[in-house]
Structure 1
Amino acid sequence: MQQVPQFRGGVVSGSHAQAVLRLERVGRVHGGGAGEVSALCEVDLTVHAGEFVAVMGPSGSGKSTLLALAGGLDRPTTGRVLVEGVPLDGLSRRRLADVRRRSVGYVFQDYNLIPALTAAENTALPRELDGASARTARREALAALAELGIGELADRYPDSMSGGQQQRVAIARALIGERRLVLADEPTGALDSATGDAVLEVLRGRCDAGAAAVMVTHDPAHAAWADRVVFLRDGRITDESVQQRIEAVR
């Protein structure tokens, strides 16, 4: 059986029946006139506490757009997005930044690490911005990096790491603290199969502790770690399936 990750400073509280993320008839249009492109169209999606959802679909189907809207990095043209019951469209820029920092962990496809900061400093940054002491933030960051198998990289800078190592630092940064929602855009894309499985086990454990996670992936083997798979095509949800959860053997 899987172990709940220990680096988060405590198990996430709350009922597993709670809706952590809701997309209600969400649409996103880019451009206008003859150049108008509909990236998402009337998408309804609810993800509950304790649930791990995988999103699949061909390139250009709207997967990354869905994640950006769910994390408040972009705003929908129509519909609304709610995180823990709070509509993101009604928030000021400052309040939206607070929600993203405290409630949402985001794993970017291009890592988005700050070159001038070490692995530990990149990982600790959200906690420090949220008011944690430097000592507390570093301690949690070191534990998060160790959980992902890269504790020895704590004082290395991004330009001295491989792509896979940078990706795991980005994942550690998304998981530090007690975020209720984890959004991951191809989090295993630069990893070998064994390391990818280890990362997915950490994400699975996060959900078992009571958080919600949405992961974009092209790999059916990785999607098999999720409770539910949602399929996108041309900006619309075309199908979804509930599946037997993988139990990792340690």
Structure 2
Amino acid sequence: MSVEARSTEPAALPDRRPVLLSLNDAARVHGEGTAVPVRALNGVSLEVRVGELVAVMGPSGSGKSTLLHLAGGLDTPTSGDVVVDGVSIAGLSVKARAALRRRSVGYVFQDLNLVPALTAAENVMLPRELDGVGTRQARLEAREALREVGVEDLFDRFPEEMSGGQQQRVAIARALVGPRRLVLADEPTGALDSLTGEAIMKVLRARVDEGAAGLLVTHDAQHAAWADRVVFLRDGKMVESAAGSRIS
């Protein structure tokens, strides 16, 4: 009588960490109903859990920035759904989506979007004050966030008095200030030298390990190596997903 071979490999345990970001068959079509609609994102499904950093890679025009815009509530899907911290953004008003971003989402924009008339501290304080945090507390949080990214000395400087790399770090501090549970970063190290870029990736990795969830768009495989998982987009579709190298 034959004895059936049994695997000695332990079964993989299910990941029970809460899902903070969920895209469910999300699509975004620009110019829908026109002769030549542009399908920027085409039925992407993706989950990002607490304590997980996911890197998104792909050629220009593959849908990476569109994916981040949907994840951060800057845009809404043409079809499908996007859920952030338990809230579906599809049915939210513009005002409600803005409140959700201030409360739960830290966004590092590729073009930074610093307010020229505000100092570094005031730029970092702004989302916290808009959400009702007192000025004294917001200033303390801003100083700590600027210290975390290595530019506390820029506290009272205006963007025009900073280098591109310094502005990038202030923008990252603004994304990390306060209890942001979801951190979205669009090429966050693009204006930085390699040494500073690695330091910033270490900061992002630490924030995720402390209990946030992170979604990072990058062209740099070395920075993607900080992620737990790497997904690849092409022509608006997710074509591959792989485990990251997880530098720590």
The two structures have a TM-score, normalised by structure 1, of 0.91
Aligned to 1:44: 45
Aligned to 1:19: 19
**Counterpart Cα distance in 2 of 1:157 and 1:74:** 29
**Counterpart Cα distance in 2 of 1:211 and 1:16:** 15
What is the DSSP-based 3-state SS (H/G/I as helix, E as strand, rest coil) of the residue aligned with 1:128? helix
CA contact (8 A) 1:16 1:210 kept: no
Aligned to 1:186: 187
**Counterpart Cα distance in 2 of 1:153 and 1:203:** 20
Q: Match of 1:225, as an amino acid?
A: W
Q: Which stretch of the first structure deviates more once superposed, 128-137 or 50-59?
A: 128-137
Return the offset for 1:31: 1.3
Aligned to 1:129: 130
CA contact (8 A) 1:16 1:50 kept: no
Aligned to 1:28: 28
Return the offset for 1:244: 3.5
Aligned to 1:56: 57
User: Is 1:169 matched up with 2:186?
Assistant: no
Deviation by residue 1:171-228 (Cα, 9 ceiling, x = unmatched): 0000000111000000000000110011000100011011000000000000000000
Aligned to 1:68: 69
Return the offset for 1:16: 6.8
Q: After TM superposition, list the pairs within 5 Å mapping 1:73-92 onto structure 2.
A: 73-92=74-93
What is the DSSP-based 3-state SS (H/G/I as helix, E as strand, rest coil) of the residue aligned with 1:112? coil
**Counterpart Cα distance in 1 of 2:93 and 2:222:** 40
Larger relative contact order (CA 8 Å, sep ≥ 6): 1
What is the DSSP-based 3-state SS (H/G/I as helix, E as strand, rest coil) of the residue aligned with 1:34? coil
Aligned to 1:196: 197
What is the DSSP-based 3-state SS (H/G/I as helix, E as strand, rest coil) of the residue aligned with 2:166? helix
Instruction: Provide closer, same or farther for how the CA distance between residues 54 and 179 of structure 1 changes in structure 2, counting only shifts above 3 A.
Output: same
Aligned to 1:7: none
Return the offset for 1:130: 1.0
**Structure 2 unaligned residues grouped into runs of 5+:** 1-14
Aligned to 1:4: none
**Structure 1 unaligned residues grouped into runs of 5+:** 1-14
What is the DSSP-based 3-state SS (H/G/I as helix, E as strand, rest coil) of the residue aligned with 1:117? coil
Q: Match of 1:236, as an amino acid?
A: K
| Identical-pair percentage | 64
Deviation by residue 1:4-54 (Cα, 9 ceiling, x = unmatched): xxxxxxxxxxx9710000000000011142221100000000000000000
Structure 1 consecutive aligned stretches of length 4 or more whose deviation exceeds 4 Å: none
Q: Across the two proteins, how many residue pairs are aligned to each other?
A: 233
Q: Match of 1:130, as an amino acid?
A: D
Q: Match of 1:57, as an amino acid?
A: G
CA contact (8 A) 2:184 2:216 kept: yes
Aligned to 1:108: 109
Aligned to 1:11: none
CA contact (8 A) 2:27 2:42 kept: yes
Q: Match of 1:20, as an amino acid?
A: L
Aligned to 1:218: 219
**Counterpart Cα distance in 2 of 1:54 and 1:243:** 8
Return the offset for 1:85: 1.6
**Counterpart Cα distance in 1 of 2:94 and 2:35:** 31
The two structures have a TM-score, normalised by structure 2, of 0.92
Deviation by residue 1:135-182 (Cα, 9 ceiling, x = unmatched): 110111011101111111111001111111111101000000011100
What is the DSSP-based 3-state SS (H/G/I as helix, E as strand, rest coil) of the residue aligned with 1:98? helix
CA contact (8 A) 1:62 1:233 kept: yes
Return the offset for 1:70: 0.5
Q: Match of 1:201, as an amino acid?
A: K
